[in-house]
Amino acid sequence: MITAFVLINTEADVLPEAAQAIADIDGVYEVYSCAGAVDLIAIVKVAEHEQLAALVPGKISKVHGVLDTDTHIAFRSYSNSDEESSFEIGLESGV
C-alpha cells in the first residue's frame, strides 16, 4: 500500500465543497482542512504508483476550486499505538 499526503490550496469561497469532492474520490482516505500554508491535506492510499500518478493530476487537481497540489509520498510510518499494540500480542484480555 502506498500512502501519500497531498497538500492542496483552494479558492477560499469553495473550500468546503472542494474538500468534500476530494474526499469522495476513490483512493482518498481522509481530507483535513487546516490552518497554515495550505488549505487542505488529503491522505491518499493506493496499491500502485501508477494509481497515484493518475489520481492527483487526473482527479484531485481537477476538482473545482483546487488551485495547486504538492504531493509527498510516505516511506515508513511511526506510531505510539503500533508500538503499544505490539506488546499486547499473545496476552489474554483482563490480564
Q: How far is CA 48 from CA 28, 51, 65, 83, in A?
A: 14, 5, 27, 27
User: CA dist 49 to 22, 27, 46, 68, Å?
Assistant: 19, 12, 8, 20
The mean per-residue pLDDT over the stretch 27-40 comes to 96
The predicted-structure confidence for 41-90, as pLDDT tens digits, reads as follows 999 999 999 999 999 999 999 999 999 999 999 999 888 875 555 555 56
Is the full-model pTM beyond 0.85? no
pLDDT of residue 3: 97
Residue 22 near residue 74 (C-beta atoms within 8 A): no
> Which pLDDT does position 62 carry in this prediction?
98
Ordered by start, the domain boundaries in the chain are 2-86
The whole-number pLDDT of residue 79 equals 82
Q: Which helix (H) or strand (E) holds 49?
A: helix 49-58
CATH number (3.40.50.620, 3.40.50.150, 3.30.70.920, 3.30.70.80) of 2-86 reads: 3.30.70.920
